[in-house]
Chain A
Amino acid sequence: METIAMPAINFAAIMPETILSVIAMALLLINVFVPSEQKAYLGYLSLIGIVVTFFTVIGGWGTPQEGFNGSVMQDNFALFFKGIFLVSAALSILISDQYMKREECNHGELYPLILLATCGMMLMASGTDLMTIFLGLELLSVSLYVLAGFQRDSLKSNEAGLKYFLLGAFSTGFLLYGMALIYGATGTTRIAAIASYVAQNSLAGSNLMLLIGMVLMAVGFSFKIAAAPFHMWTPDVYEGAPTPMTAFMSVGPKAAGFAAFVRVFVIALPTLRADWADLLWVLAVLTMTVGNITALYQKNIKRMLAYSSIAHAGYVLVGFVAGNAVGTAGIMFYMLSYAFMNIGAFAIIVLVGKKGEPNNNVEDYAGFGFKHPLLAVCMSIFLFSLAGIPPAAGFIGKFYLFSGAIQAGYIWLAIIGVLNSAASVYYYLRVMVFMYMKDPVEEFDWLKVSPAIALCLIIAVAGVLIPGIVPGYLLELAQKAVLL
């Protein structure tokens, strides 16, 4: 009888994931004993879990941990992204309870699913093996399919869940095929080993299998980050999903997709850089332009934010194409500030809606600024930041993404990006025009701000303004987390 030698496990490398998944499973059990009016307590418990996890993330900063024979690597890059995921999960949980109660679907399974999705994102950010990254992505995706269809009585929500599931499964096929071809070409799934095998045997440029694998993986990841032309699912899913879940899936999964995308392409395929930089250049231009132009025509504010999130994926791709320290730090800074501004905007959308009447059209915001000045100011701050107007964090993020591109010699890409960003101001400002320059049609008397949403708004406004005015500290953190 042969014994199997235990691999070097090193739990420190997966500490955040372990804590989150244990809490998620505990919540599933506790959920059975909580009556349905009090499901909010599950939300508070999961927030405590997220805070604890956040401290382990901070504690791990600066000491890279490798675990499971090289399946995961918790370095600063992974930790920074884990911070983004935790922020987006926490903010989404804060706005969930009021919405779910209003729409009568406050089932307790919501919180474990959010936590497990976050766990999947973390595995994507720290995975150094294609298998880990793929399974992290699946864990994330399966949770998101359910969360998109969570409002079971709403046809729109059902449609969103089903559409996301079908198209997501399809894109997973591309990603997996790409990974299989790369495994076939190099004989390993560890991304560092892939890089050294490709370099030793000088496969780059001559080996077709490797090249097709790379392209297919790019397709799979592009779907997750909603880059054009793989963005078709985004508007329908964002519109139909429960609003807090739209907020969650517009930020966290996008950041996770970028984390895995960057790590696989930068570490495993640096020798193919010329090929994939060209590919991503085209993707970036297409994504920015398609996203912004289509957003101009949207009447529904959730659809508008969906197209705007496609455009934002385009801006971040610019930083990825640049590939230097400034561009990569820009990606991380931008994703973090995007978490604050986008979830903040969705929090206001949650507040403006009422049961059965989502009030999602831009016209529904007429006169909102006179009835609820404070909330309208918050919304304006988020929209300014999304448009990239100083002193909001969105401006600093875009500045670094584009200056990274200029430093790397992609002048045209930066110019197209800035032009796109200018065009986007139109549709963000239109909401503000309705809020401040039209006479109120509604009284907005149903509007009630729960303490949780107030806390979410305060955090989001602080998260947009403080890094926008004093960006130095966060940028320094992001620069320490760069993979290069």
Chain B
Amino acid sequence: MLESLFFLIVAAVAVLSGILVITCKNPINSALSLILTFFCVATFYVMLEAPFMAAVQVIVYAGAIMVLIVFVIMLLNIKTETDKRTSHAVLISSIIGLFVLFETIYFLNRSSLTGSKGLMDSAMIKSVGHTEIIGKALFTDFLLPFEITSLLLLVAIVGAVVVSKRKI
């Protein structure tokens, strides 16, 4: 009871701050709202008994990536409002949005949305530990994807240098 009440409050905050991200005129306000959204998502991870994910969410997204976003906004120093969207675009996108919403509600009422429960449950996570499970998965079942990630990061670094360095 208390848990679902807590969930509802956090979910409401998450949705509200998500809406603020795209409606705020000032990019800094958008960025700050995005931080709030990230914190709400981190709270969801805690409630799903995934504390490691929650910590990563806060450290990487709310921390590092947001600093980067705010830094870029400051660097570009956007002052004037450049948003000149036509009313057509707003109208069409809201029609499509409403259509998708009704479609989703209709299908949710009609068919099953259940999936496999998987191996992990609360008891197992408590006995082994959430971080240990992730670590073990990374070094056994997902060893190759883990290694590919290193190549991906290398490409990203090389790409950033190629695209942006003044003289290469």
Contact = CB atoms under 8 A, between A and B. Distances in A.
Interface stretch (A51-59, A86-94, A204-212): A204-212
A132 interface: yes
B159 interface: yes
Contacts of B156: 142
Interface string A120-155: 100100000101100110110011011001101000
B141 A207 contact: no
Q: How extensive is the interface on chain B, given as a class?
A: 20 to 34
A206 B114 CA distance: 10
Interface string A50-72: 00000000000000000111011
Nearest to B140: A7
A9 interface: yes
B112 A206 contact: yes
B105 to A, nearest CB: 12
Residue of B108, B113, B143, B145 most packed against chain A (CB within 10 A) = B145
A112 interface: yes
B148 interface: yes
Contacts of A184: 115-116
Nearest to A133: B145
Interface in B147-168: 148-149, 151-152, 154-156, 158-159, 161-163, 168
B103 to A, nearest CB: 11
Nearest to A129: B145
A21 B111 contact: no
B155 A116 contact: yes
B117 interface: yes
A123 B155 CA distance: 15
Contacts of B152: 135, 138-139, 142
Interface residues of A, number: 48
B155 A143 contact: yes
A14 B143 CA distance: 13
A211 B139 CA distance: 31
Tell me what chain B mostly uses at the interface: helix, strand, loop, or mixed. Answer: helix
Given A72-B144, A129-B145, A161-B163, A142 B112 contact: no
A274 interface: no
Given A132-B148, A146-B163, A209 B116 contact: no
B20 to A, nearest CB: 21
B6 interface: no
Contacts, number: 106
B113 A107 contact: no
Given A71-B145, A109-B168, A187-B117, A4 B140 contact: yes
A149 B160 CA distance: 11
B145 A131 contact: yes
A187 B121 CA distance: 13
B111 A109 contact: no
A478 B116 CA distance: 37
Prevailing SS type, chain A contact patch: helix
A56 B107 CA distance: 50
B1 to A, nearest CB: 26
Contacts of B162: 107, 109, 113, 146, 150, 152
Nearest to B165: A152
B151 A187 contact: no
A185 interface: yes
B142 interface: yes
Contacts of A152: 162-163
Contact of A197 (B116, B119, B143, B161): B116
B25 interface: no
A420 interface: no
Given A5-B140, A7-B141, A187-B116, A21 B151 contact: yes
A186 interface: yes
A113 B152 CA distance: 11
Interface in B67-109: 107-108
Given A109-B161, A116-B154, A208-B107, A135 B112 contact: no
Nearest to B111: A208
A469 interface: no
A326 interface: no
A449 interface: no
Given A109-B168, A185-B116, A209-B115, A14 B144 contact: yes
B117 A109 contact: no
A147 to B, nearest CB: 9
Nearest to A13: B144
29 contacts: A4-B140, A7-B141, A67-B144, A71-B143, A72-B144, A107-B168, A112-B158, A116-B151, A116-B155, A123-B148, A129-B142, A135-B145, A135-B148, A135-B152, A138-B152, A139-B148, A139-B155, A146-B162, A146-B163, A150-B162, A161-B163, A187-B116, A187-B117, A188-B116, A206-B111, A206-B112, A207-B114, A209-B114, A209-B115
Closest 10 CB pairs of A and B: A187-B116, A146-B159, A68-B144, A131-B145, A135-B148, A185-B115, A71-B144, A187-B118, A184-B115, A208-B111
Given A207-B115, A209-B115, 13 more contacts: A6-B140, A28-B158, A68-B143, A109-B158, A132-B144, A139-B148, A139-B155, A142-B155, A142-B159, A143-B159, A152-B163, A207-B113, A208-B108
